Amino acid sequence: MFSFLPAPFRFIISLLWAVLSTAIIGLFITALGTIKLVMPVPPLRRFISTLANGLFRCWAYSMSFLFSLGAHMEWRIEGDLPDDRSGWYMILCNHLSWIDIPVLMHLSRKQLPMPRFFLKRELFWVPIVGIGCWVLDMPFMKRYTKEQIQKNPALKGKDIETTRKKCEKFRDIPTTVINFCEGTRFTRQKHLARKSPYTYLLPPKAGGTSFTLQAMGEQFQEVLDITLVYPDRKHGEPLAMALLFGRLKRIYVHIDRIPVTADLRGDYFNDEAFRTHFQGWLNGRWQLKDQRIKHYINAEDLEGRSS
């Protein structure tokens, strides 16, 4: 929309849109959450949750508009999403930047129930955003290191217990649960530190994914395996900056729809055979995802050399 303007002006317009739309919608959601806290009548509380969910969808549309402010965005999408706002789905996605969240909001804004993310507990203290996510029943997770668990064994399984409690709430309202299985954003430093067997991905963490499927597997219609690639990303430049300055002009998305079969639901923590099977399944999905990213990048390299 404003691609004709110099980059600094595009940055200011995009940043203002992202901040103001998030702040305004977040304040309304927070206000509804305050009412919900003091409202003792369950039907009214559910009605308020529905209103908050509607505002969340408005935020998804505002984030979708953000992609068209600084440049004409080309979306190359392979595969399709279900068209059912009244269902339950799980999205497995690779994680490169915070803009992965607006991308997934853009994809789901029309056809899917509004997404719920597993968030780091530190995000709760982000003004407006943290409280808004809490009102929307998004789970805040605290990861414990092996050293912390060794010092205090009572911490073992705390994050899984949080997942279980939140999954119980997800049963009451159609939901798309989004799981960034790598647990953190991909960087070359993390890739080397974890000795990842993949070229463009970090190793996936199977425990939380399996537990969510165990807790809600009978409700999930499908697992949606989504792969994101940003071909215009320059080495070392944060994707957020590329978007705000209008230099991000293409986003590639691949969607695989996977039925939730009985072999994906089991006791990951107590059944060794199932744990081995599920880890193999998820690692296989990650291998396919890695190959897909490599295919996109190689195609871009060939196109660049031929032009």
40-72 pLDDT, tens digit per residue, is 788 888 888 889 889 999 999 999 999 999 888
Reported confidence tier of residue 36, pLDDT bands at 50, 70, 90: confident
Q: Look at residue 252 and tell me if it is in a domain.
A: yes
**CA 156, CA 146: separation in Å to the nearest integer?**
9
Instruction: For 205-241, write each residue's pLDDT tens digit.
Output: 998 888 888 877 788 899 999 999 998 877 678 899 9
Instruction: Identify the pLDDT of residue 307.
Output: 46
Q: Look at residue 67 and tell me if it is in a domain.
A: no
Residues in a beta bridge with 203: none
Domain that holds residue 104: 76-239+248-306
Instruction: For 82-122, write each residue's pLDDT tens digit.
Output: 999 988 999 999 999 999 999 999 999 999 998 887 777 77
Is the full-model pTM beyond 0.95? Answer: no
Q: Look at residue 15 and tell me if it is in a domain.
A: no
Give the total number of structural domains in the chain: 1
Q: How many residues are present in the chain?
A: 307
Contact indicator for 25, 59 with CB cutoff of 8 Å: yes
Q: Which amino acid is at 248?
A: L
Q: Look at residue 206 and tell me if it is in a domain.
A: yes
Q: Look at residue 17 and tell me if it is in a domain.
A: no
CATH code of residue 128: 3.40.1130
Q: Which of 83-97, 154-168, 183-197, 277-291 has the lowest mean pLDDT?
A: 154-168
Q: Look at residue 295 and tell me if it is in a domain.
A: yes
Q: Look at residue 119 and tell me if it is in a domain.
A: yes
CB count within 10 Å of CB 293 equals 20
Instruction: Identify the pLDDT of residue 4.
Output: 85
